[in-house]
Copies of this chain bind each other. A is one copy, B any other.
Amino acid sequence: MIEANTTSPDRTTCANALRVLAMDAVQAANSGHPGMPMGMADIAEALWRHHLRHDPADPGWIDRDRFVLSNGHGSMLLYALLHLSGYDLPMEELKRFRQLHSRTPGHPELGLTPGVETTTGPLGQGLANAVGMALAEKLLAAEFNRPGHCIIDHRTYVFLGDGCLMEGISHEACSLAGTWGLNKLVAFYDDNGISIDGDVSGWFGDDTPARFEAYGWTVVRQVDGHESAALDRAIGIAHAADKPVLICCRTTIGRGSPNRAGSAEVHGSPLGDEEIAKTRAALGWSEKAFVMPEPIRRAWSAVECGAVVHGAWRERLDDYARAHPALAAELLRRCSKSPQLGRATETALAAACEAAESARATVATRKASQDVLQRLGPGTPELLGGSADLTGSNLTDWAGHRPLLAKGTGNHIHYGVREFGMAAVMNGIALHGGFRPFGGTFLAFSDYARNGVRMSALMKLPVVYVFTHDSIGLGEDGPTHQPVEHASSLRLIPGVDVWRPADATETAVSWREAMRRTDGPSCLLLSRQALPHAGDATPRLEAIARGAYVLRRSHDERVVLLASGSELAVAVAAARLLAEQGVEARIVSVPCLDVFERQDAAYRCETIPRHLPRIAVEAGSTGLWWKFVGEDGDVVGIDRFGDSAPATALFKLFGIGADMVAARAMALVQRSDRTLCNVERMN
């Protein structure tokens, strides 16, 4: 069958090619997951060789079908598919599976491997990404297609396993997909009855088809995941459905392995040389590891077919561009790899910054954020906002927002009470392209979304998180709703820019920087309560963008006060008290520690001089501030849970006030003076 001959290999043989590549690569790495690729090989063959519309020569083609491997531990399945289909992923890379700096990492990683649409591994999130992609497709199609010009029209396919379905995020995302009627989303459930701990019946008793029907999905039940014709039929049903589709495929994990198939053991361990030899024999596969007969290569190659479908689309695009030149240009701008902001967007951002700085208003930064959106919205059609059921609190809406409800379209998404789902759906929207997603919730509930924020950062997606009610300042709702450690713990995630603006101007600049950012997410931590304008003659609009800047300096500074967000006003008031006692203080506003740490050493040292005693004020965890104040410095913050009371009572209770800061700063100054005296005495 696999000898070079003129007839094409049969479908099972093509699927076996995936099985063999997966088991051999896992064996070579001596680590990895052969079970899923061997179990889903026939499904993959059916989808990739017979239905998927893609062009291996151009993984960035904007109207390609999207394929998401939500059960990302089966990465070798995807690498085998990409390799055989003709993507730029040579066999050498498959041999280097899971080795340093290979293009075949343990789990699929966006940006490393051509054809990988999203980074997966943390279970359930790939599925939610796919929901975001399918939504983006739908919205983009509604916005750009014209009668006779169907320029955006592709599907999103997902592979997923029991693990994805047990995770809560699968509920959040699939409920939304059903409500939104995402009929171009097709999910293949690898129903093999096995998870790492064994037979899932002991801990996973769901009637999954009934569950998905309850979400408003079309469910294709009891498909034999090893029978190609049945799979084709199921995919046919899916393509005709007017709802998202779950195809439930009964499979055997590790199919092909005579002794390991159907066992938990095959999930995450190499088969071993002996079992691999037996598997080869059972599959009738005579080739050595990493040798692929030419007929199989030919049968798998999607290069020619990809060129044809892509070529046809290019022609449609040309027609479209002739009929609707402005629309076509806008579509291409929005969907380019690193989309530039439109001129109207840049103008709006600049105007928002200027307006905030000149208005000098006392305003909650969440409201200031809404003011920015009000300017940004009209000229930024790619902006796709939303909130996890806190629209009126997060103030993520604006006068021209069009709510996306049920099966409609819009530019503001009611995600419902689904923080994690929102984050992962936003990641999917950003991955798809064409939109700049942002979404809001209370900062305390960033916890729920946390791994989604991490995935935004890992994938370098410019998602904007609007986290309002940013400290004990939220008041009466109490410790469950009051962030304490959240600002700092978000800062710890590599690649996340955490902005905690102190006034309307800093808020506008934060938005400007978040919108300009192309290589990662930004979190805007915004106050519920009104904050005074930090008002000063110093031109701040560029200084703020450096993450920290001197708000006020004097010729005889004896102490430096660092502060972020609502505590900048506290620092300003403390400086006034200190001045009354004859001590001049420098005030440094720190809207974004992450950005500040990327500045050159000269700027950092000039802004926060080491020769002066330093004290930081932030209504949250103190731990990260010691790096900036030194161990002779001081940090006024909160290292315990909050309390339920009006905000003013809480700031008093927690000692976050001008009196306290001034007193502790004065103590620093006096200690420093004594040390100085001692040194002078020594001389």
Contacts and interface: CB of A to CB of B under 8 A. Distances in A.
A178 interface: yes
A90 interface: no
Contacts of A290: none
Contacts of A623: 488, 491-492, 623-624, 627
B477 A106 contact: yes
Task: Give the oligomeric copy count.
Answer: 2
Interface string A629-660: 01100000001110111100110010000000
Interface residues on A, range: 35 or more
A458 B643 CA distance: 11
Given A176-B203, A416-B203, A480-B119, A168 B650 contact: no
A138 interface: no
Pick from A387, A391, A458, A631 the residue with the most CB of B within 10 Å.
Answer: A631
A484 B496 CA distance: 13
Interface in A478-512: 478-481, 484-485, 488-489, 491-495
Residue of A102, A175, A203 ringed by the most chain B CB atoms within 10 A: A203
Nearest to A161: B417
Contact of A109 (B204, B479, B492): B479
A491 B488 CA distance: 11
Nearest to A650: B100
Contacts of A448: 122, 167, 420, 450-451
Find the residue from A124, A216, A418, A444 having the highest chain B CB count within 10 A: A418
A202 interface: yes
A494 B172 contact: no
B196 A480 contact: no
Most central of A417, A477, A481, A489 by chain B CB within 10 Å: A417
Which 5 pairs show the lowest CB-CB distances between chains A and B? A168-B168, A105-B644, A171-B171, A121-B480, A202-B405
28 contacts: A31-B476, A72-B480, A73-B477, A98-B478, A98-B646, A101-B645, A109-B479, A122-B445, A122-B448, A163-B417, A166-B172, A167-B172, A168-B171, A168-B172, A176-B203, A197-B387, A197-B389, A204-B416, A206-B214, A206-B216, A207-B214, A420-B448, A448-B451, A488-B492, A492-B621, A492-B623, A623-B627, A626-B626
Given A488-B492, A631-B631, 6 more contacts: A31-B475, A100-B646, A105-B478, A195-B389, A448-B451, A494-B641
